[in-house]
Structure formats: C-alpha cells, structure tokens
C-alpha cells in the first residue's frame, strides 16, 4: 500500500462514493481552500521547481506536502506519513485531503520531478474556488 492509503482492489462502490464525497468536501471547505493557497505559495517559493515522491523530505528535496510543512516550519522529520490523523491535525485539514494530495503527488503523476511540480501546482490551482490575484 502506498503512503496515500489508496488501494486498487476496492470492491465496495458505496464506500468509494462516500470517500470521494469526503475528499471533495475537504477540498471545498474553508480549511481546504486555505491549504490550497498555502500549497501554491509554498510551491511558488521553492528555489528549484521540483518535487519528490514517496517521502515528505529527502536529501533536501520535498514532496508537495513537504513543501507546505517546510514553509510553515512544521517538524517534517517527526511526521509519520501513515498516521493520517496526526498529520491532518498538524496541517489543520481533513485527512482525506492529505491522502488525496499524497496520491496526486506520488501516484497520479509518474514523470520527472519538474513535471511533478507543475502537475501539483496545476492540481492545486484547479481545485481553488477563487484564484487569488
């Protein structure tokens, strides 16, 4: 299982429908929208526009969530990416949103680190209800 917790062999369609609704609600909500703005700001502030997959931070590079954690001064080294509730508390968002971001960062995009940065920035921007000026 990946760090997003997503699995390919889900046979319970109703559980999948409920999950997708929870993800959408988390993204649309006030905290989710603020997190997307924080994510875009953290990505834009990166000196090198590239993201890793599979880890929050490794050898000075970060994933999308790692970029936000570093920008906010959160204890990246102490975060367990499989403890979704603890991470959600630290980021002040629903765990469903964090898991979706992990999936988008790690699994939905399979190209270069530079392409992953573009992919995640585009994803965040597309999910904003109001794009800041």
* Predicted local distance difference test score (pLDDT) of residue 89: 95
The 3-state secondary structure of 44-80, one letter per residue: HHCCCCCCCCCCCEECCEECHHHHHHHHHCCCHHHCC
* Predicted local distance difference test score (pLDDT) of residue 121: 97
Residue-range domain boundaries for the chain:
34-127
Structure tokens at 32: 């989710």
* Predicted local distance difference test score (pLDDT) of residue 7: 47
* Predicted local distance difference test score (pLDDT) of residue 108: 76
pLDDT in tens, 99-111: 999 999 998 777 8
**pTM of the shown model:** 0.86
- Rounded alpha-carbon distances, angstroms, from residue 115 to 18, 49, 97: 31, 9, 21
* Predicted local distance difference test score (pLDDT) of residue 14: 82
| pLDDT < 50: residue spans in the chain | 1, 3-4, 7
Largest CA-CA distance found in the chain, in angstroms, rounded = 43
């Amino acid at each position: 299982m990946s760090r997003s917790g997503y699995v390919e062999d889900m046979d319970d369609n109703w559980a999948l429908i409920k999950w997708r609704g929870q993800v959408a609600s988390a993204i649309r909500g006030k905290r989710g929208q603020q997190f997307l703005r924080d994510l875009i700001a953290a990505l834009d502030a990166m000196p090198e526009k590239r993201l890793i997959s599979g880890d929050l931070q490794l050898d000075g590079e970060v994933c999308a969530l790692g970029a936000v954690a570093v920008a906010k001064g959160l204890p990246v080294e102490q975060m367990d990416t499989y403890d979704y509730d603890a991470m959600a508390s630290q980021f002040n968002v629903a765990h469903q949103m964090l898991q979706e971001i992990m999936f988008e960062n790690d699994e939905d995009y399979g190209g270069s680190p530079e392409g992953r940065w573009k992919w995640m920035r585009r994803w965040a921007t597309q999910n904003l209800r109001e794009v800041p000026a």
